[in-house]
Amino acid sequence: MGRRALIIGIEEYGSVSDNSIAAKLPGTLRSAMDFRDWLIGKWDAENVLASERQIIFCSEPAIEGGEHATAEDLTQALLQLKAAGQNSTEEFFFYFSGHGFSFVEPDARSDVIIASNYKAMQLSGGACMRLDKAIYWLRQHLGFGRQFYFVDACRNDLDGRKINPGGVIPRAIRRRPEKRRPTCCSLPLQRQPLPSTEGLPPPFSTVSRAKALPKPGTTPKTTP
């Protein structure tokens, strides 16, 4: 069972065009690096083997040995975690320091974190990660080990009239079911002649029934 972590520190949002968030967040990268150093020290003290560790570090600006923190980079990081630790992760740490908000719906509220390629509210819903969906996705793929989440971000209320978060989390590929051809053919229904009632007792026999009925214009005889 492995120990894994996804650490994200975004200090620069260089693509912001609508002034909806600050372009710089001093100190966020440093805090992410401090968390990484603490985690390495923790695993060292627990004698966790190097082969059982995985730390993915995403930041803006990127550091040596790390990755950038665009929506695509974060999606790739999630897929790397899945590939290496599916159903085999004893301990997982998630750390984020950067911009975020609270997405408010009529009957729900969810925390959202913002990737480094965010530009504007009306353009960048795909640069946002809904934290509740990320937790569910990671739980489903990494298994039922211990998971810890640390989020240092704003939680100002926003709703669907301003932004529609929906990117970053990998989607499952759904294949359309193949149309099956019938394995047998159906024959047209053939009308069969009705069976003869001759020889059957009244009232089933048409012959006997005809004899029992009075002729037209006559009065049936009655037995006293």
Q: How far apart are CA 107 and CA 105, in angstroms?
A: 6
Quick one: pLDDT at residue 211? 45
Distance CA 224, CA 221 (A): 10
Q: What is the pLDDT of residues 148-161, one digit of tens each?
A: 999 999 988 877 67
What pLDDT was estimated at residue 16?
95
User: pTM value?
Assistant: 0.73
Residue 122's pLDDT band (cuts 50, 70, 90):
confident
Check if the beta carbon of residue 94 is closer than 8 Å to that of residue 77: no
pLDDT in tens, 165-196: 776 677 654 444 445 554 444 445 455 555 55
pLDDT in the model for residue 47: 97
Cβ distance 127 to 23 under 8 Å? no
- Determine contact, residues 134/92, Cβ cutoff 8 Å: no
* Domains of the chain, CATH where assigned: 2-158 (3.40.50.1460)
